[in-house]
Amino acid sequence: MKSLIKNNKDYILYLILGSGLIYLSFFYFLSYRDIANMYRTMEYISYITFIIGFGLSYFFNSSKVFFILLIMGFLQIIDSQWVTQYIFRDINFQLYNKIIINAIYIFIPINLIFFSFFRERGILSFWGFSKLIVILGQGLGLCIALNKNLKHVSTNNSLTLISWNFLNLANMDYHRYLMLFYFFVVFLILIIKEKNAVNNSFVLLLIAFIISLNFVNDYGLNILPLLFIISAIILIFAIIKSAYILAYKDELTGLASRRALYGELLKQGKNYSIAMLDIDFFKKFNDKYGHDIGDQVLQMIAVHIKETGGGAKVFRYGGEEFTLLFPGKTVDECIEHLEDLRKRIAERPFYIRGENRPQEKPQLQKEYNKSGSTKKEQITVSIGVATKTKELKKPEEVIKAADKALYRAKNKGRNQVCRQ
């Protein structure tokens, strides 16, 4: 349990902070005295956030966000005064409001599950148009249901009202438990999905809907504009975060990229050291075993580098080369940590699984080794380190000096650390 929390610390913190901000937003908005006038203002703001979200999701080709925003925008329009005045006239508005609220709280969570299972395959594509058809089908079905069932319905038709009363959570009846169970199932499905910026935003979006349930019985449709604004902001943040990850994170290793390194170097003060690390004979290894196995080696090296002490900030510089930045440290203060890193990598063999390995690992390790299912390779690295001096004032000069030290380490026989 402790390891699970440790591995997902940032994710849990993201959900806790996000939930707190969402709750405070609802609390502050609903404490406003003239909510009726505030409702219209918030409605216009929600349209603005939708437009911004549509623009960003289209520009960054984020189809998941685009289509979720499309669903919410459609439901926001259905709830607007213009629709009730010119399309759905002569209806029971009490029942209409109940249906709209329930449609929002039922359709959006199930669509979050639906889109979380798909990869990003573009908006203006076959896959994009097929998803659009699904969304239009949902919208058409809702409009038909509204038009057919609401005209000339008596306000005393209690059976019809009860059928749309799922969100009456103030009453301790089975509807309350049904809705809570529904949201719990959706939540479980979303949190076990792949962790990325968009899927994480879907979880936070669902939490926003769950939090709003505390207010929907007392304030009804008045909370919807704020709910849509919060939802759009969450999705917009997800797009921005996805773009940041693409620009500043290495997808294979999960380390920060070279661009992030240059940004970090601009923040450094008078003292810092830079180490350049290169995997020995990596090209020959790639030629022998293929790029898939080579990628596994890069991932293994990245895991070791992340554990480097001394306050090191680690980056993938490119190819099989990595960079370690030690803010406020001299070469002498870095050597010990770099030597420890080099030894850890050299002392841990890398096992290559063969095609004829058994489906299940035998109980005895000897039988597993005899099966020819694995092959052991020794991976080593060479490291060069340099620090900022009066002669090496610019970051580029420190990197160049560390690179020269790296090549000296290779020329001396590899699997060692050399300093400037």
Of 104, 384, 47, give the one whose Cα is nearest residue 220. Answer: 104
- 358 Cβ contact list (under 8 Å, min separation 6): 368, 371, 373
User: Are 271 and 330 spatial neighbours (Cβ–Cβ below 8 Å)?
Assistant: yes
The pLDDT, as a whole number, for residue 247 is 84
Q: What is the DSSP code string of 266-330?
A: TT--S-EEEEEEEETTHHHHHHHH-HHHHHHHHHHHHHHHHT--TT-EEEEEETTEEEEEEET--
Q: Report residues of the chain scoring pLDDT below 70.
A: 1-7, 33-37, 79-97, 145-176, 217-218, 220-221, 353-374
Q: What is the pLDDT of residue 101?
A: 77
Give 312-334 pLDDT, tens digit per residue: 999 999 889 999 999 999 998 99
pTM: 0.74
Give the per-residue pLDDT at 79.
Answer: 67
Distance CA 103, CA 98 (A): 8
Give, in degrees to the nearest 5, the angle at Cα 28 between 24 and 29. 115
Establish whether 320 is a catalytic residue.
Answer: yes
- C-alpha 227/C-alpha 233 separation (Å) is 10
The rounded distance, in Å, linking the Cα atoms of 131 and 115 is 9
- The closest alpha carbon to 414, from 383, 376, 374, 372, belongs to 383
Local structure of residue 249 (DSSP, 8 states): B
How many of the other CB atoms lie within 10 Å of CB of 269? Answer: 8
Q: What is the pLDDT of residue 164?
A: 40
**Catalytic residue chosen out of the listed positions 320, 347, 360, 367:** 320
Predicted pLDDT at 236: 94
292 and 339 Cβ atoms separated by less than 8 Å: no
pLDDT of 216: 73
Q: Are 314 and 256 contacting, i.e. CB atoms less than 8 angstroms apart?
A: yes
Task: State the pLDDT at residue 319.
Answer: 87
Structure tokens at 245: 């990850």
Burial of 266 (0-12, 13-18, 19+ CB in 10 A): exposed
